[in-house]
Structure 1
Amino acid sequence: MREGTSPLIHRLDYQQPAYWIRKVDLTFDLDPAKTLVTSKMQVERNRAVPHGPLRLHGEELNLLRVLIDGSSVSFRQEGHELVIEGAPDADFALEIRNTCCPEKNTALSGLYTSGGSFFTQCEAEGFRRITYFLDRPDVMAVYTVTLRADASRYPILLSNGNLTDSGRLDNGRHFAVWSDPFPKPSYLFAVVAGDLVAREQRVRTRAGKDHLLQVYVRRGDLEKTEHAMNSLIASMVWDEARFGLPLDLERFMVVGVSDFNMGAMENKGLNIFNTSALLASPATATDADFHRIESIVAHEYFHNWTGNRVTCRDWFQLSLKEGLTVFRDQEFSMDMAGTPSARAVCRIQDVRQLRALQFPEDSGAMAHPVRPDSYAEINNFYTTTVYEKGAEVVRMYQTLVGRKGFEAGMKLYFERHDGQAVTCDDFAAAIADANPGSPLATRLDTFKRWYSQAGTPRLTARGEHDAAARTYTLRLAQHTPATPGQGDKQPQVIPVVMGLLDRHGAALALNAAGDTETVLVLDQAEQTFVFENIDSEPVPSLLRDFSAPVVLDDGLSDAALLVLMRHDSDAFNRWEAGQRLALNRILHALRAGQPLVLSPAFIEAMRGVLNHPELDPAFKELALTLPGESYIAEQLDVVDPQAIHAAVMAAQAQLASALRDDWIAAFEAHQVQGGYTPDPASSGKRALANLALSMLVLDARSSGDAVWPGKAYQRFKDASNMTDRLGALAALVNAGAELAAPALERFHALFKDDALVIDKWFALQARAPEVDGRVFARAKALTKHPDFTLRNPNRARSLVASLCMFNPAAFHRTDAAGYVFWADQVLAMDAINPQIASRIARAMDRWSVLAEPYRSAAREAVARVAAKPDLSTDVREIVERALASGESQAS
């Protein structure tokens, strides 16, 4: 653990290293208590920078010897650096021998043990916990790795690249030698050793080359790897077809581990996955799990080119690989979905996540640009801004240059930079240079403000129709609020995909060519666009497919929103119109301080969606789900979480009651017959049926009807797949039904030996709608459950993060008990795993916008954590930024 306050690292201070490491031979003698690592490196002076000592990074290592060209050399240790003065001016061989203790590595960074096997996680700075090295992404070397271990305990020995040798050793040990022909930074290094089994598949690419695909898991989990393998094959086919990017190694390996800080890691040729992002069977995984696995498998595979073959020059460029690869996995998921409606569902789900997680980040203490300017701990910047907002920036590239233009830009990017460590500017230049004269190329400098400015832009749109002139004038204006460290913001390039509808919902021609959709490019603070031959007042459909990550204020009336909801050809805006109608009613009640009462017109509009014969069930489920409480909070200057929760619960109860007969019909009409498949059509039916069931059980709570809770309990018992079983259980738990308790007990008994399913059991209880403090009390009691531990990241997230980050009403309590709980858990976790602790600490990013008495109590809890003297850098950066941001807002 790194203790105390670390100095900020600034992007503009980047310098090349004084030395390069070009080749590395690593030998591991694996032992849980004392692993011996021997590193032999070919080092050369970098004559582009002033001569200085060789400084190597290292943490929690026991150094045994240092040799240069076979001879001992003087050195010193300064903090977490090994400093070698007087290194040769010519190329030289550097040998370092050290030991580390994997079984004591609870931070799960570097080399560690899990379930009796060895695993690594080297991104961002974990390699320095294995051996001393220039642990930075611009130092790229070719690696040869020799692994030696007990053959009975660790029969499988894996590393990056291709297996070149293996055999038996004395004393029951064996070895394997792996060689990776591609230069890579140390963060992409990986080692796995253990008693694992593999699903294997041989495939041939379009180029006619054969490859071996392997998915390694612990014994007993092999049957749950079929979907991951199919997703991997689909990813390979898609990337070669869409971007011409083939697999470049003889084999591609994926390994699952239950103790992992992230979802997965794209180590070159040896991806390591959290089991939650790899294992699935109909009995244990939901439709959402199947979709998530497909997406993450694709994401990590796509990194083979966007992240591995071309990598980041420095960690400030993290979105160069992550934002681009998230965009690629989103495009893949939409293509896999197939139908236009299923594609729209994917897009809506992505935007919902962006708004629920990234928009609050943009307005909180940790607000930062897609390319941050400084950090104390890089692990804290694996954020939704870098990933999801970064993906939206890449999507805007494609919107501005077109799909084919974007593919041409990607081709030029790889032609220029394959095998290099580069910057976001290099990517931007490649896309622009491949599309001269495009709206991007002519505004490139302005467009790149997306990389340098934090915050979510506010887009205002107002239209005026001139009946005499038959014109419609649309005025667009933009403004980005101040964020910590950034005051006034400059205008950004905002592509606004739009169309116009008449009052009957018919699409209007926007130009002489008869186009009904166009892209407006806003790059000034205010701009005006005029459309001719518009006979009557139109309804503008703006920001179609969510063409830019902004907050839109178009001032549309309920009548205009109803036109969009019923007729817009853009499925995203059709969904958005319904969300706006619901949000407007909730916000009106909150601002007026009055109980929420849904109007008959709104209820009828929702009934129309539920019963619409042409809308897909998956779209209906999204359209009939109310805006999330966190997203509602984003619309308010002062946030009362309990008031928001009460308004949402009131809206749900009214929809449940008013549409009761329609919910019954929807539930009965959307039962899926036959065997389970996670395809979009079947998933959509299950999603709508489960929403209908939850509404019917919720209505039963107020009406006293015992029929639907009983049906939900029976469905829970009889379900043939986890989606329906968990959906029925959630209906009971979320409604506070009496049958929830026996159902929870039965669920635990059924799946007590499946850790991933028990994670769902914890999360469901921690995220249940709060009623009279019972959910918080239950969640707090569950920390004492025999199955709960802070040492496993999945388990900690399932309970602590679910409560503190995703259940505002249960967390934000007038007695401050939620904040005390948060502080206790963050401090306890920090002593075990600072990365997970810092993520849970983010629950307090926006404490300063809370209404009293929450605000004062929240600040006290944050200050309590910040006062701990031996706090990790990971957590200290989060809480100190939260305190500083809150105090600056108060002043």
Structure 2
Amino acid sequence: MKNAEPKAIYLKDYQAPAFEIESTYLNFDLYDDYTLVTSILKMRRTTGLDAENLFLNGQDLELRSVSINDEVISGEYYELTDESLSIAASVVPSEFTLSIQTKIKPQENTALEGLYKSSGMFCTQCEAEGFRRITYFLDRPDVMSVYEVRITADKKAYPVLLSNGNLIDAQDLEGGRHSTTWQDPHKKPCYLFALVAGDLKHIEDTFTTMSGENVTLRIFVEPQNIDKCDFAMGALKRSMKWDEEVYGREYDLNIFNIVAVDAFNMGAMENKSLNIFNSSCVLANPKTATDATFQRIESIVAHEYFHNWSGNRVTCRDWFQLSLKEGFTVFRDSEYSADIGSRTVKRIEDVSLLRTAQFAEDAGPMSHPILPASFIEISNFYTLTIYEKGAEVVRMIHNILGAQDFRKGSDLYFARHDGQAVTTEHFVKAMEDASGKDLTQFRNWYHQAGTPEIFITDHYDESAKSYALTIKQTCRETPETKEKKPYHIPFELGLLNDKGDDYPLICKNSKVNSETGVVNVTKFEETFVFENIDTKPVPSLLRGFSAPVRVRYAYEAEQLQFLMANDSDGFNRWDAGQTLATNVILSLSQDVLAGRELVLDEGLFNVYQSLLSTLMSDLAMQAQMLSLPSLAYLIEQQDQAQVHALYTARSFVKQTLADRLHDSFSNVYQQCLDSREYEPSPDAIAKRTLKNLCLQYMTQTHNHDYSGIAQQQFDQANNMTDQFSALGALVNSHHQSLAQTALQRFYEQWQHDVLVVNMWLSLQASSDHIEGVAAVNELLNHDAFDIKNPNKVRAVVSVFAAQNLRHFHGADGSGYNWLADRIIELDALNPQIASRLTGPLTKWKRIAPPNGPLMMQALEKIAARSNLSKDVYEVVTKSLVS
């Protein structure tokens, strides 16, 4: 590792900036092999401490000149390090203009932070701390400034020059160069700065705000992708309309630009008025994109647009407050997606991610509160805890306050803090002040890490016609604290009578809302007694997943089947089925370990048979209920996971269901066939989802050969969803000779479309039928792979380690060593991506021997390297010492 270990940064040490920047002028002279950046900053001291030096962040910069009030500062008055420029207080007045010129080399910037060049295009990514790779600056979110930006470049090579704000000037210059000048009148931190220069085409539309202002909307892409922008444009307009109607937020400039970029570390970035997207999150047409891609684009376009208020107009005081903008905005985009599609299915999708991945994060070495107390590298804290759990905490506030008071709270928050950099406390306080509700105890959700566990016991008193629920909450020790305070948990429930109807909730306890069914749990242990209960009810617990907790209640199989058939809450109907299937698979995994014969539980079989007997009104919900729990989720149900036993048990259940119910799956498949022109509407997506799920089961069976149907769908599909689903069904079946032929044909057809080829790579990296590490090495050596492109890395390396759990957890540990080698290789190129790849190895304590210790050895192999980045260093060291 590095000789000088990176130091942690602590929230308790926060100090307001000693200087502020009133205005920022930036001039970029772009050339193929370097860029000159001139910054002119109007600054002033804020603390009155004249003895304090002016400390500016900077990284990988060549300082050309620095002056204050047009007076050149000589070297004796400043100090340069690899990460900063410090100017002596003696030459820094209370108010001044600071001018700096730096030289940078974007074409060598493989970290893809700051200004970089990829595929002939200049692009920026400044969140969290990338701006310091552009010029020396106060690179912190609580320093907000108005910006004017001038960009100059060769017009033939870079005809499009974009930055934040409104375009105020464009000129043709001598020598074939040209310039544009942009002005953003809204104060923003430097992490929201953006610049793009390249040979791009665009589509254009307009949106009229609720106050009658016309906004020009443009999406810029490389010329070959111009036919893939229409859906994203529609999603943008739908998002703008929804934000006006639901939150009263309208757009505040006369132009909004989106740019699609192939080489991008993140999904997208909400830079003010110039959103930069990973191309995978904006480009789509029916021939090249799946239903999942269309849905992802809808959500991400909305997310980045919603940031215009929840993140841009009101931003974070410091990076510890990251969930202030991300958690709130994820909640907003989730509600948007629920409003335009199936609310129940959207909830299922969100909770599946939370319970599979975020709960695992909570239980691992990188566990941290939504408001972390410290970090070494902020890039490591763009986590599911910040985003998904943060959104769940906002959702709980919404549920506690109700929709009307929550809207009042958000209005107050935006009005009170517009143009400011604030904290999570400001958000919660606005909600309290607007609603009159006390959220003091609720704040524990922000300061305590880990996933609370809820243990529930019940007792029915037949003579008194009463039913008592005793709820105990606990939370495991996590790095920041051993002694946990009780959470305020809004726990929604229902009680079903023997006919499947809900009993009215009559409870003397004032913490129970009889209208919503929410029990406000605030103590470590509480008992709630419900009256006028004629027969012992079946409890429907944590309806709608009203809090991010694990529920422990000893359901009997018959009760779960009853809930699946009768519960008025759609989420809990699905969850009952998942719990039933999980219990069956976990039990079968013990049979695998003991060498006993595997026999499918008839109750589970009957449930699936019933689900296939007729088409439900909500086909998307039907597809969810027919889907088995994922292997990743099953692994999270064991403290010492036996991965291969779980894999074998799950595969047995799927295979047996496919063999015994293949006729039923085939019947549903046939009923869902639709020859109409493709459209990404919720109903059409739901029908395709159910159809293609049935095809997966059909190609698993050994009792009938459905490979011809899969081949026919592959050949005749009029959209990528059906073609790729048919290919996936073959690749994950026992028809491997047919699969290899189809894979080759698919590549030959789509080899010139980068995003489709990435899907092709991912399908192979995730397949159970590949030959482990040897097969993924072949993918790494394929012409379509590029280690410097994050999308390619995610398509192969991340998919293999995170999704192909059978081969990644191979008995010889080769999967772990392979991943360690990729992390070491990438750490020298792109530390952010390398750090994110480390996640699967951090779970080593949760995996049973001999695999767990082999995972630890792979981490030790990484740790033994010298000059690790801060990104990888933090994850590896925390994983080994926790």
TM-score > 0.5 by shorter chain: yes
Q: Contact 1:36–1:98 at 8 Å: present in 2 too?
A: yes
In structure 2, give the amino acid aligned to 1:200: E
Question: Which one of the candidate residues 633, 636, 640 is aligned to 1:634?
Answer: 636
Count of equivalent residues: 870
Q: Give, in whole Å, the separation in 2 of the partners of 1:99 and 1:643.
A: 57
Paired residue secondary structure (2:250): coil
In structure 2, give the amino acid aligned to 1:140: M
Q: Give, in whole Å, the separation in 2 of the partners of 1:206 and 1:315.
A: 33
Question: Which one of the candidate residues 703, 707, 710 is aligned to 2:708?
Answer: 710
Q: Contact 2:616–2:622 at 8 Å: present in 1 too?
A: no
Deviation at 1:448, TM superposition (A): 0.9
- In the other structure, the counterpart of 2:86 is 83
Alpha-carbon displacement from aligned partner over 1:157-210 (angstroms, at most 9, x marks no partner):
100000001111110111111000000000000001111111100121111111
- CA shift in 2, pair 1:233/1:362, >3 Å: same
Deviation at 1:3, TM superposition (A): 9.0
Alpha-carbon displacement from aligned partner over 1:96-123 (angstroms, at most 9, x marks no partner):
0011001000110000112211100000
Deviation at 1:681, TM superposition (A): 0.9
- In the other structure, the counterpart of 2:381 is 381
Paired residue secondary structure (1:311): strand
Q: Give, in whole Å, the separation in 2 of the partners of 1:622 and 1:836.
A: 32
Q: Contact 1:762–1:799 at 8 Å: present in 2 too?
A: yes
- In the other structure, the counterpart of 2:607 is 605
Tell me whether 599-608 or 278-287 shows the greater mean CA deviation: 599-608
Q: Contact 2:456–2:469 at 8 Å: present in 1 too?
A: yes
User: Share of identical aligned residues, percent?
Assistant: 45
Paired residue secondary structure (2:587): helix
- In the other structure, the counterpart of 2:171 is 167
Q: Give, in whole Å, the separation in 2 of the partners of 1:155 and 1:250.
A: 22
Deviation at 1:2, TM superposition (A): 9.6
Deviation at 1:711, TM superposition (A): 1.6
Q: Give, in whole Å, the separation in 2 of the partners of 1:215 and 1:2.
A: 43
Q: Contact 1:197–1:216 at 8 Å: present in 2 too?
A: yes
Tell me whether 776-785 or 676-685 shows the greater mean CA deviation: 776-785
Q: Give, in whole Å, the separation in 2 of the partners of 1:131 and 1:88.
A: 19
Tell me whether 459-468 or 257-266 shows the greater mean CA deviation: 459-468
Equivalent residue runs for 1:802-813 within 5 Å: 802-813=799-810
Deviation at 1:488, TM superposition (A): 2.4
Q: Give, in whole Å, the separation in 1 of the partners of 2:448 and 2:480.
A: 10
Q: Which runs of 5+ in 1 are unaligned?
A: 886-891
Question: Which one of the candidate residues 713, 732, 735 is aligned to 1:734?
Answer: 732
Q: Contact 1:3–1:873 at 8 Å: present in 2 too?
A: no
- In the other structure, the counterpart of 1:888 is none
Question: Which one of the candidate residues 631, 647, 650 is aligned to 1:648?
Answer: 650
Pair 1:180-2:179 in alignment: no
Pair 1:144-2:148 in alignment: yes
Q: Contact 2:773–2:818 at 8 Å: present in 1 too?
A: no
Pair 1:334-2:338 in alignment: yes
Structure 1 runs (4+) deviating above 4 angstroms are: 1-4, 48-51, 512-517
- In the other structure, the counterpart of 1:845 is 842
Q: Contact 1:3–1:872 at 8 Å: present in 2 too?
A: no
In structure 2, give the amino acid aligned to 1:305: W
Deviation at 1:651, TM superposition (A): 1.0
Paired residue secondary structure (2:140): coil
TM-score (norm 2): 0.97
Q: Give, in whole Å, the separation in 1 of the partners of 2:613 and 2:321.
A: 48
Q: Contact 2:208–2:215 at 8 Å: present in 1 too?
A: yes
Q: Give, in whole Å, the separation in 2 of the partners of 1:720 and 1:84.
A: 64
Q: Contact 1:510–1:517 at 8 Å: present in 2 too?
A: no
- In the other structure, the counterpart of 1:889 is none
- In the other structure, the counterpart of 2:491 is 496
- In the other structure, the counterpart of 2:619 is 617
Q: Give, in whole Å, the separation in 2 of the partners of 1:686 and 1:240.
A: 32
- In the other structure, the counterpart of 2:679 is 677
Alpha-carbon displacement from aligned partner over 1:671-706 (angstroms, at most 9, x marks no partner):
12311011111111111111111111100xx34x4x
Q: Give, in whole Å, the separation in 2 of the partners of 1:754 and 1:731.
A: 22
- In the other structure, the counterpart of 2:554 is 555
Q: Give, in whole Å, the separation in 2 of the partners of 1:591 and 1:156.
A: 62
In structure 1, give the amino acid aligned to 2:82: G
In structure 1, give the amino acid aligned to 2:434: A
Q: Give, in whole Å, the separation in 2 of the partners of 1:78 and 1:510.
A: 66
Q: Give, in whole Å, the separation in 1 of the partners of 2:598 and 2:230.
A: 48
Q: Which runs of 5+ in 2 are unaligned?
A: none
Question: Which one of the candidate residues 259, 263, 270 is aligned to 2:267?
Answer: 263
In structure 2, give the amino acid aligned to 1:744: L
- In the other structure, the counterpart of 1:229 is 233
Q: Give, in whole Å, the separation in 1 of the partners of 2:214 and 2:580.
A: 54
TM-score (norm 1): 0.96
- CA shift in 2, pair 1:471/1:837, >3 Å: same
Pair 1:826-2:816 in alignment: no
Deviation at 1:486, TM superposition (A): 2.6
Tell me whether 163-172 or 854-863 shows the greater mean CA deviation: 854-863
In structure 2, give the amino acid aligned to 1:336: I
Equivalent residue runs for 1:193-342 within 5 Å: 193-337=197-341, 342=342
Question: Which one of the candidate residues 116, 121, 135 is aligned to 1:131?
Answer: 135
Q: Contact 1:497–1:519 at 8 Å: present in 2 too?
A: yes
Question: Which one of the candidate residues 859, 862, 874 is aligned to 2:859?
Answer: 862
Alpha-carbon displacement from aligned partner over 1:757-785 (angstroms, at most 9, x marks no partner):
0110111111112x5x6244322221111
Tell me whether 594-603 or 147-156 shows the greater mean CA deviation: 594-603
Q: Contact 1:583–1:632 at 8 Å: present in 2 too?
A: yes
Q: Give, in whole Å, the separation in 2 of the partners of 1:114 and 1:286.
A: 26
Paired residue secondary structure (1:220): helix
Alpha-carbon displacement from aligned partner over 1:526-574 (angstroms, at most 9, x marks no partner):
1111111000000111111110001111222111111110011110000
Q: Give, in whole Å, the separation in 2 of the partners of 1:328 and 1:394.
A: 9
Deviation at 1:515, TM superposition (A): 5.3
Pair 1:798-2:767 in alignment: no
Q: Contact 2:513–2:519 at 8 Å: present in 1 too?
A: no
- In the other structure, the counterpart of 1:390 is 390
Compute the RMSD of aligned alpha carbons. 1.6
Q: Give, in whole Å, the separation in 2 of the partners of 1:200 and 1:743.
A: 38
Q: Contact 1:203–1:210 at 8 Å: present in 2 too?
A: yes
Q: Contact 1:4–1:873 at 8 Å: present in 2 too?
A: no
